[in-house]
Structure formats: C-alpha cells, structure tokens
Amino acid sequence: MEVQHARIKNGWFTEVSDAHFPGQGFSLRVEKVLHHSQSAFQDILVFKSTDFGNVLVLDGIVQCTERDEFAYQEMITHIPIYAHKNPKKVLVIGGGDGGVIREVVKHSCVESATLVEIDKTVIELSQRYLPEMSCSISDPKVNLQFCDGFQFLRNIGSSDLDAKYDVIITDSSDPDGPAEAFFQKEYFQLLNNALREDGIVIMQASENVWLNINYLGELIQTAKSVFSNTGYCYTTVPSYTSGQLGLIVCSNEKDLRLDVAHRLPTSEEQQKMKYYNPKIHHASFILPTWADRILNTRQA
C-alpha cells in the first residue's frame, strides 16, 4: 500500500507556514515516498524527489535535500570553526542528519565532537536514506548523546572548564514544537555558560531578511543581550523557502572579527568543500542596505 502524506498532493510536496513565511510556499516534485512516521517528538517524512534527491522533512518543514544540503552544513560549521583560533572541542546540538558532524571532523585541529540529538529516529533514518550526510556519525572523534539539548547544556553550565566547548553549533529545526525553546533568551544564556572564554556559538536563525525581518531583528537583539559580540550572516539554499537562511554568530571576545577566517583552510580541506571559502565567509556578513539598517543599526 502506498504511503500517503497530507502535504503531498498530485505528486508534489508543498511546504507552507503562515507563521514563518505567510503568503508563499515551496514545492518539490515527489518521485517516491520512502518513509513516514510519527516519532515521540515529531512527524518525520523522507521522500525521493525528481530533482533534489532524497529529502528529509520534520513537522512539514524541509530540513535538507541531497542536492543542496552542503550549502547549509558547510557555512554553519566552517564559519565558527575558522573564525576560532584554535578549536579543539566542538558541540553540535540537533543535526541528527549528520551533515554538520561530517563537516566538523574535516578539521584536523578538532579533537572531539559531541552530537546531542533528542530524536534517535532522525539519526537512524538519515543513516538509511541520507548516507552521504550521515557518513561521519561513527567517526572516532564523535560522541553521540541522545538527550534534550537544554538539559545537556544545563549540566555543562554547572561543570568545570574542562567540560566546556570552543565552538557550539545549534542545528535545530524551526521554532515550532520541540525546537521552540532554542530561540529564547534562556537558551542563549545556557550556550554562554557552556562556552569557553574565547568560544564561538552559531545557530540557524530560522528566518532571513526576505521573510520576517522584524522577528529576525528581535532574535539578534536577544543574542546581543547575552553575548558582547554578535553578528548575522547567511547562506543560500534553494530548498529553503526564499532560498536563503540566516545564521547568528556570537562570542564574548569583543575584538574578535567574526566575519573573518582567522585560520585559512589547508588545500586538502578546501578540496573537500563545495560552498565555503574564506572570501564567502566574509561576504556572507555583508547585507543589503535596508536589511543592514534594520538588523545592525535597528533603524527602519
């Protein structure tokens, strides 16, 4: 019996969200539904598209496609790691598809990478249907923790310096359902407590300048209320609504240039990358005039 899904009609999957991108949607043509289930935390859909490869959808929102996932995974990973002068210990919260971890272990300077994922089903399905993304989950550097990211951070905050991280990457889904708390001030405070003095945090903003820029501005102000050095950059991902996704980068080192790669990729590292390079690292922080006024100077 063929698997059906409410968002698939006449052979097309359509992503819509009045909360995040009212008045528009994004559709992909479906070749075959590979999996659909309700885990303990969320609705999970995996389908093979005709043009974007296999697609992972959580609660009706596209998380990644095989065709363009690298544009997101590389930027959310390499921007903080190359901005940091000596990153050895990395924490990834969310990202059960394995894409961020795949990028983290490309760095020889990274000695350990902890992946905290609340939904084990996402990892299992990614290993089955997204093997090129999940290929490094079993890497010797990787430590898997199946638990709530909030509680994991709370435990770190009460620990000594050795338990804290140089880089923390929040690869959560959008702020609906179980991921909603990852966009509140308390979460930024927990991130700060889990970070070493010279550490860097990055998180996906769920928004970009073409969607709800006012919400994005509020989120950046929330980050600034906790971190003394905060920047906004973006990556272009065709399978995300409007084709762009914002990233918020934070540190407590006031003099640190977040928009500059302080360590340059080796030739071997650069050959492994499809999107990231030091020039695009810097360019991703440059915004159109109207957006820069709203986000960086808070002038409408």
Q: Which of 48, 65, 82 is the last residue of a domain?
A: 65
Check whether residue 185 and residue 274 sit in a common domain: yes
The pLDDT value recorded for residue 63 is: 94
Q: What local confidence, expressed as pLDDT, does residue 180 receive? A: 55
Q: What's the total number of domains in the chain?
A: 2
Tens of pLDDT, residue by residue over 52-104, are 999 999 999 999 999 999 999 999 999 999 999 999 999 999 999 999 999 99
| pLDDT (tens digit per residue) in 275-295 | 999 999 999 999 999 999 999
The fraction of the chain above a pLDDT of 70, given in percent, is 92
Return the CATH number at 187.
Answer: 3.40.50.150
Answer whether residue 202 is part of any domain: yes
Residue-level pLDDT at 179: 46
| CB atoms closer than 10 angstroms to residue 95 | 31
Asked whether residue 60 is domain-assigned, the answer is yes
- 58 and 77 part of one domain: no
Same-domain status, 57 and 139: no
Tell me the residue range of the domain where 235 lies.
69-296
Using CB atoms within 10 Å of the CB of residue 292, give its burial: 0 to 12 exposed, 13 to 18 middle, 19+ buried: middle
pLDDT for res 162 = 77
Same domain, 141 and 73: yes
Does residue 3 lie within any of the structural domains? Answer: no
Q: Which of 42, 65, 88 is the last residue of a domain?
A: 65
Q: What is the mean pLDDT of residues 29-48?
A: 96
Q: What is the mean pLDDT of the chain?
A: 91
* Whether residue 277 sits in one domain with residue 242: yes
Residue 5, pLDDT score: 82
Examine residue 233 and state whether it is found in any structural domain, yes or no. yes
Which active-site residues does the annotation give?
171
Report, as an integer, the average pLDDT of 125-134.
98
Same-domain check for residues 88 and 188:
yes
Domain at 38, CATH number: 2.30.140.10
Q: Which long-range contacts (CB under 8 A, 24 or more apart) does 8-16 make?
A: 8/33, 8/47, 13/45, 13/47, 13/49, 13/55, 13/57, 15/57, 15/60, 15/61, 15/62, 15/241, 16/60
**Structure confidence at residue 207 (pLDDT):** 86
Q: Are 102 and 133 in contact (CB under 8 A)?
A: yes
233/125 same-domain check: yes
At 15-35, the pLDDT tens digits run: 987 777 788 889 999 999 999
- Answering whether pTM is above 0.85, one says yes
